[in-house]
Each structure stands twice: as C-alpha cells, then as structure tokens.
A and B are shown apart, each in its own frame.
Chain A
Amino acid sequence: MFEQQLFNGLTLGLIYALIAVGYTMVYGVIELINFAHGEVYMLGAFLCITFIQALGVPLFPAMALAMAFCAGIGVLIDQIAYKPLRKAPRLAALITAIGVSIFLQNIAMIIWGSRPVPFTRSAVPAAFSETAFTLGSVNVSGLQVFIYALTIAMMIGLTLIINKTKVGTAMRALAQNATAAALMGINVNRVISFTFALGSGLGAVAGILVGMYYNTLSATMGYNAGVKAFAAAVLGGIGSVPGAMLGGVVLGVAETLGAGYVSSQYRDGLGYAVMIAVILLRPSGLLGKSVGQKA
C-alpha cells in the first residue's frame, strides 16, 4: 500500500511540477508572480476538449493545438496586462495578475458553463484506463505511464532549451540582470514573450493531463492548481526551474502520504506545512540560490 500511495503521489507531483515551472520561469525573468497561470492551465484543458468535440480533432493533435493556443494566450496576457506595467511598482503588476485570473475564470464560465464537465471519454485511448503493468504491489495504469513519459520528456526538453539554446541563455541572462542583458543586445521583450509562451504551453499540457486523469474539468480548476503550483515553486526556490520540478514532486508526495496516513481532512494543510517547514529551514527554498541571483 505504501508503494501505491507513493506512486500516486509522484504522478500528482509531476503534474504540479509542470505547472510550477511556468510560475518560476516568469518570476525568474520579470519578478512577477503570474497568478493567471492557473487559468491558462484550465484553458488548456477546455480548449483541448473543445478541439476534440467541436472540430473532431484526435487527442494528440488536439493536445498540441491546445498547447500552441495557450502559448499564444500567455504571450497575449503579457502584452496586454503586464507589459504596460513593466516599470510600475511590483504590487501593481501582482494585482493585475489576480485581475487577469478572475477575468479568465469568468470568461471560461461564460463559454463552457459553470458546471464541471467530463473529459471526452471516447477520445482517450482504451489502453489509458487499463492497468499497464504491476510492479510488486503497485498497479500502474496506461495513463500514468503516459503522464510520466510526457512530463519527464517535457522537463528534459525544457532543461535543454534553458541550458543549451541561445534563447535559453538569453533567459538566464535576463534573470541575472535585465539592464545588462539589454545592453548586451538581447531583445528583452522577445525573450519575455518566449518565456510566457513556454510556461503557458507546459501549463496547458498539465491541465489536459489532469483533465484526463481525474476525468473532470471545471472553470474554477485553475485556482487550486495555481496555488498548489505556486507553493511548489516557492518550496523549490522561486526562480529556479529544477527547484520547481523538485518542489512539485515533494508537494504531491507529501499531500498524498498525508491524506493516506495522517488525515484526509488536512491533506492540503499537510502539503503546505511541508512547504513552511522547508522555507523556515531554507528561506530561499530547496534549490533556490541566495539573494542576488534568480535563475
């Protein structure tokens, strides 16, 4: 039973990690806690089932399409809501982010209604809901295999982009010192847009995976997920991409084990208690660097 709990916790944690990297990247580059990120995650899931249901697109292309759309939405949010406030006090941008979050949530309610809707069952391959293999006492479903494969592949891809490509280098430079980066000829606005696109795309995938895993979508699903992922990003050290990944996994496992062994009533509380304990011991988070550098 412990192994099964741990495994389920890891699945949840990987999804948190995928959302958390979006928070942490944006924070790293413009020092903004993008509270609308949870809503992009929600929009990803809804767009995916809309493409499947309204346009008859198969699941995987629909996922890619939703990811691309959300990348665009992420860029658009930045252009419309955050860019004009780049030089304003940080609090202004933060409040704007909360406003964007509420706005998107209500837009989603107008378009898709306020009731929870199921993920399109017929579009999900049958193998996903069956037990793929049994490892000792752990039952692993096809969907869990898919979640593991996809999230880990995406995180490896993301790490490569950040560390090996020119735009990744530019992102890191911007995180260290925006003025110096601009003086070195880096097109700051383009790099910021890229960061939003990347984070939002990953968030959308997380939304779709959650929609499939729990078979339910709702216009308010982004709020909780957003707060959890934000906690994961802080736990891992906000601004640090590997930190967000680790933070997500730690939070997911802590929550699941807490619900399984301590009390299901306090599952969220236990997750946050772990976060607070870590922050008390290491104020910059698990993998966060001390003040001065953010990436």
Chain B
Amino acid sequence: MKFKRALVMACAMAAVLAMGSLALAADVIKIAVPSPFTGSAAGYGDNVKAGVVMKVEEVNAKGGVNGKKIEAVYFDEQCDPKEAATVGTKIAGDKDLVAIVGHLCSGAHLAALPNYVRVGVAALSPTATNVTISDKGKDAKGQYWSFRNVYLDDFQGTFLADYMLKQLNLKKVAVFYENNDYGIGLKDAFVKQAKANGLQVVGEEAYMKGATDFTPQLTKLKGAAPEALFIAGYYAEGALIADQAKKLGINVPKFGADGLDNADYIKLAGPAADDTYLTTPFLAETAGPDAKAFIEAYKAKFKRDVDWMSANAYDAAGMIIEAISKVGPDRAKIREYLASINTKEKAFKGITGLTYFNEKGDCVKPAYVKMVKGGQFVPAPKQMTN
C-alpha cells in the first residue's frame, strides 16, 4: 500500500508542477536550443549553452522583452542525426517555441531541418558550417528557414590552403579528416584549393569520431615527410593527432578550422599543441569593447576562457531576441525579420562583428588566424584579409 500512496503523491506533485508552469507560460517567451548535451559532443553543447545562458540572463536582468522573460528550452540531440530528427519534430510541434538557436552539428541540423521548414520556424545555427545546408532550408514558397551566423566549410578550407602556401610557404601537407559531413566538406574544399595552388597533398586519412589511436596513419605518413598536418575535425581527436605525431617525431605545424578551436585542445595535447594554426570567427584580441565585457563576465561565470562557439551562440541568441523584441513572439514574423537583415548597413552588431544574411540565410564573416604558442592561443603574426 505504501507504493500506492507514493504514486498518488507523485501524481499530485506532478499536477501542481504542471499548473505552476501553465501559470508561468503567459509571462515567458520560449526559444528552443537543440544541441548535444550528452554523448561525445556534449562538450560543445556546453559551450553553446553557456553562450545562450549569458545572453538570456543579460536580457532578463534588464527586464526581458516587452515585459516578458525569455526562457531557453534545451533539447539534447547528442549530435546524432536520428536524435535530432526526433527532437526537431518535438520542437516544430510546440507552438510556444518561437524560434530556434541551433543545431550545433551540421549533420544534426540537416536532419532536423525538414521539420522546421514544414511548420515554418526559423533555426539559427551558431556553429553548423557544412556547405549543403544552404540549399536544404527552403520551403515550397522559396523561403529559407535556416540561418547561420558562422562561415562555411568551403570558405575555411579554401582560406587555410591559401594561408599555408602564401603566408607560410609550406609545400607538402598531409590531411586527417573526420568521416562526417563537417570533416569531409572541409577536407574537400581544402584539397581542391591546395591542388589548384600547387600545394602537394601527400596523404588523406579518415577517422571516426571518438577514435583514439592515430599511430598507424601517422607511422605511414611519416615516410612521406609532410611539412604540415591539416586536421579537418574536432579538438578531442585533433589533440590526440597532434600528441601522437609529436611522439612519433613528426614535428610540423598543424592546421585546423573552427572544430579545433577550444581551450581543451591545448589541455589535451599539452606541449604538442604548439604551432597549431586555426581559423576562427572570433578573436578576443581584435574584438570591440562589448566583447571585452562579455569575455570578462564569461570567465567569471564559467571559470574558463570563452571559445568561439559560446561567442557565436551568444550572438545568435541575441539576434533571435532582437527579432522577438521588434516583431513579437511570432514564428513567421521572426523569420521575416531575420531575412530582412541582408546588408552590411542593417547588420546585427554583436561581439563577433557584423552579421547579415544572404538570400540563403548564410552569412559572410571575416576569418582570423590564431595559433598556439607556449600553451596559449595568440593571434597569428600573419593575418590574411580578403
């Protein structure tokens, strides 16, 4: 009988909670933040969440939007396309969620997108850099529902191939890439540009997310004597590649894109991280005064240095909230507002610089190069502006 009583109590409590949230519902505007919060990509999800938390708390501390508080609702999709499709259906069906900051991974974004296009809700990804997303966010009326405030992989890959040859005069490169949408897209653009420029690619090695042992590939590549390693993947595996390359006596500069850009890369790779060059959408040193305040506040709150994902997520949430404050909590109107930010003059001024979208919801943003020196990220001495 004890069990029955407990069950009744639990039901009663659940009912009270449900009523409480109903009462609250009128006073808040909800935005969805689908990202990986468990699984092997959870570390990135944490970063995006941190950025959103900073923005939402900041807005709510000032009284919210038109008297209503903003509430971010987090959905865990584990960076897994299957999970993302499920989560996407859930978000699309909940009319209270007026817009989406996400998804984090390109693969997950692509999988969830058809749901958002079907019901018409804007998804602004702070991090998904895959090229193919551009063409998938369109509905029957030709409207794009997918936006992103980050540059694309083809841009990063091309940029790095140019940088390697023109700024550092390197001639032979070996490529590691993660076998997913992100890694392959980045690698393809890089290799294409490298070949066009006469930068010799001496090996292309694929690996799976979560791989830990790269010694077989590195042992093989050592014979080809590359002058640089290009790592088209994320920091957890990238750090291991750098570390194991050093152990095998391959002491060459490493190159990577946004996926390597995380303080944990240095922590994991240790001294092997030195001489790694990265493209980054956000360079604290070149950022304006608003960014400085954000960087300080972030460090005080989370006890770690700000990374580009947090910065981009902060701006993405900022754009969505600005849209809500201008046009109200209406899915279609928010999309219209975002789409109307289409010239440099109308651009959103965030901590990552100016953001404005082209007709496909993509944006043009400058890339910076930073490098690891003495266990620290520092701006690379040679920058390329284009």
Q: Report A's interface with B, CB cutoff 8 A.
A: 1, 4-5, 8-9, 12, 106, 109, 113-118, 121, 129, 139, 141, 210, 214-216, 218, 220-221, 224, 255-261, 263-265, 267-268
Chain A residues closer than 8 Å to B40, beta-carbon distance: 218, 220
Q: Please determine whether A259 and B216 come into contact, CB atoms closer than 8 angstroms.
A: yes
With A214-B240, A264-B216: A115-B43 Cβ-Cβ less than 8 Å? yes
CA distance A261 to B243 in the complex (A): 22
The residue from B37, B217, B268 contacting A215, defined by CB atoms under 8 A apart: B268
Q: Within B203-257, which residues are at the interface with A (CB < 8 Å)?
A: 205-208, 210-213, 215-217, 219-220, 222-223, 236, 239-240, 243-244, 247-249
The residue from B223, B244, B264 contacting A116, defined by CB atoms under 8 A apart: B264
Distance between A125 CB and nearest chain B CB, rounded to angstroms: 15
Q: Please determine whether B236 and A116 come into contact, CB atoms closer than 8 angstroms.
A: yes
CA distance A218 to B237 in the complex (A): 12
CA distance A276 to B247 in the complex (A): 33
The residue from B208, B222, B236, B244 contacting A218, defined by CB atoms under 8 A apart: B236
Chain A residues closer than 8 Å to B219, beta-carbon distance: 1, 4-5, 8, 260
With A116-B264, A210-B212, A265-B179: A259-B247 Cβ-Cβ less than 8 Å? no
Chain B residues closer than 8 Å to A113, beta-carbon distance: 43
| Binary A-proximity of B265-280 (CB < 8 A = 1, otherwise 0) | 0011010000000000
With A141-B247, A264-B206: A109-B216 Cβ-Cβ less than 8 Å? no
Q: Please determine whether B270 and A215 come into contact, CB atoms closer than 8 angstroms.
A: yes
Majority-rule SS of B interface residues: helix
Q: Please determine whether A264 and B264 come into contact, CB atoms closer than 8 angstroms.
A: no
Distance between A256 CB and nearest chain B CB, rounded to angstroms: 5
With A8-B215, A116-B268, A118-B268: A268-B39 Cβ-Cβ less than 8 Å? no
Q: Please determine whether B217 and A268 come into contact, CB atoms closer than 8 angstroms.
A: no
Q: Please determine whether A118 and B270 come into contact, CB atoms closer than 8 angstroms.
A: yes
**Who on chain B is nearest to A252 by CB?**
B213
CA distance A268 to B208 in the complex (A): 9
**Who on chain A is nearest to B264 by CB?**
A115
Chain A residues closer than 8 Å to B222, beta-carbon distance: 1
Known: A118-B270, A264-B217, A265-B206. 12 other contacts (CB 8 A): A1-B223, A8-B213, A12-B213, A116-B268, A117-B268, A210-B212, A214-B213, A216-B268, A258-B216, A259-B217, A264-B216, A267-B216
The residue from B43, B213, B215, B270 contacting A114, defined by CB atoms under 8 A apart: B43
The residue from B42, B207, B213 contacting A115, defined by CB atoms under 8 A apart: B42
Distance between B218 CB and nearest chain A CB, rounded to angstroms: 9
Question: What are 14 sample pairs from A and B whose C-beta atoms fall under 8 A apart?
Answer: A5-B219, A12-B213, A109-B42, A114-B38, A114-B43, A114-B45, A116-B43, A214-B240, A214-B243, A215-B268, A218-B236, A256-B215, A259-B217, A264-B205
CA distance A129 to B247 in the complex (A): 8
Interface pairs A-B: 7 shortest CB-CB: A114-B42, A260-B216, A115-B43, A265-B206, A259-B216, A264-B205, A214-B212
The residue from B46, B205, B213 contacting A256, defined by CB atoms under 8 A apart: B213
Q: Report B's interface with A, CB cutoff 8 A.
A: 37-40, 42-43, 45-46, 179, 205-208, 210-213, 215-217, 219-220, 222-223, 236, 239-240, 243-244, 247-249, 264, 267-268, 270
CA distance A12 to B219 in the complex (A): 15
Q: Please determine whether A216 and B216 come into contact, CB atoms closer than 8 angstroms.
A: no
Chain B residues closer than 8 Å to A268, beta-carbon distance: 208
The residue from B179, B207, B240, B247 contacting A216, defined by CB atoms under 8 A apart: B240
CA distance A8 to B244 in the complex (A): 12
Distance between A9 CB and nearest chain B CB, rounded to angstroms: 8
Q: Please determine whether B212 and A216 come into contact, CB atoms closer than 8 angstroms.
A: yes
Distance between A152 CB and nearest chain B CB, rounded to angstroms: 20
CA distance A162 to B82 in the complex (A): 45
With A106-B38, A117-B267: A215-B43 Cβ-Cβ less than 8 Å? no
Chain A residues closer than 8 Å to B211, beta-carbon distance: 267
Chain B residues closer than 8 Å to A9, beta-carbon distance: 216
**Who on chain B is nearest to A265 by CB?**
B206
Chain A residues closer than 8 Å to B248, beta-carbon distance: 139
Distance between A143 CB and nearest chain B CB, rounded to angstroms: 9
Chain B residues closer than 8 Å to A8, beta-carbon distance: 213, 215-216, 219
Chain A residues closer than 8 Å to B179, beta-carbon distance: 265
With A115-B46, A121-B270: A257-B216 Cβ-Cβ less than 8 Å? yes
Chain A residues closer than 8 Å to B207, beta-carbon distance: 264-265, 267
Chain A residues closer than 8 Å to B206, beta-carbon distance: 263-265
Chain A residues closer than 8 Å to B240, beta-carbon distance: 214-216
Q: Please determine whether B213 and A118 come into contact, CB atoms closer than 8 angstroms.
A: no
Q: Please determine whether A216 and B39 come into contact, CB atoms closer than 8 angstroms.
A: no
With A214-B212, A264-B207: A220-B39 Cβ-Cβ less than 8 Å? yes
With A117-B267, A263-B206: A1-B236 Cβ-Cβ less than 8 Å? no
CA distance A224 to B216 in the complex (A): 18
Chain A residues closer than 8 Å to B236, beta-carbon distance: 116, 216, 218
Distance between B233 CB and nearest chain A CB, rounded to angstroms: 12
**Who on chain A is nearest to B213 by CB?**
A12
Chain B residues closer than 8 Å to A106, beta-carbon distance: 38
**Who on chain A is nearest to B235 by CB?**
A116
Q: Please determine whether A109 and B270 come into contact, CB atoms closer than 8 angstroms.
A: no
Chain B residues closer than 8 Å to A260, beta-carbon distance: 216-217, 219-220
The residue from B38, B213, B239, B243 contacting A109, defined by CB atoms under 8 A apart: B38
CA distance A1 to B211 in the complex (A): 22
Distance between B327 CB and nearest chain A CB, rounded to angstroms: 36
Chain B residues closer than 8 Å to A220, beta-carbon distance: 39-40, 210
Chain B residues closer than 8 Å to A264, beta-carbon distance: 205-207, 216-217
Distance between B298 CB and nearest chain A CB, rounded to angstroms: 16
Distance between B273 CB and nearest chain A CB, rounded to angstroms: 11
CA distance A12 to B214 in the complex (A): 12
Distance between A286 CB and nearest chain B CB, rounded to angstroms: 23
CA distance A8 to B217 in the complex (A): 11
Q: Please determine whether A216 and B215 come into contact, CB atoms closer than 8 angstroms.
A: no
Chain A residues closer than 8 Å to B217, beta-carbon distance: 259-260, 264
**Who on chain B is nearest to A262 by CB?**
B216
**Who on chain B is nearest to A106 by CB?**
B38
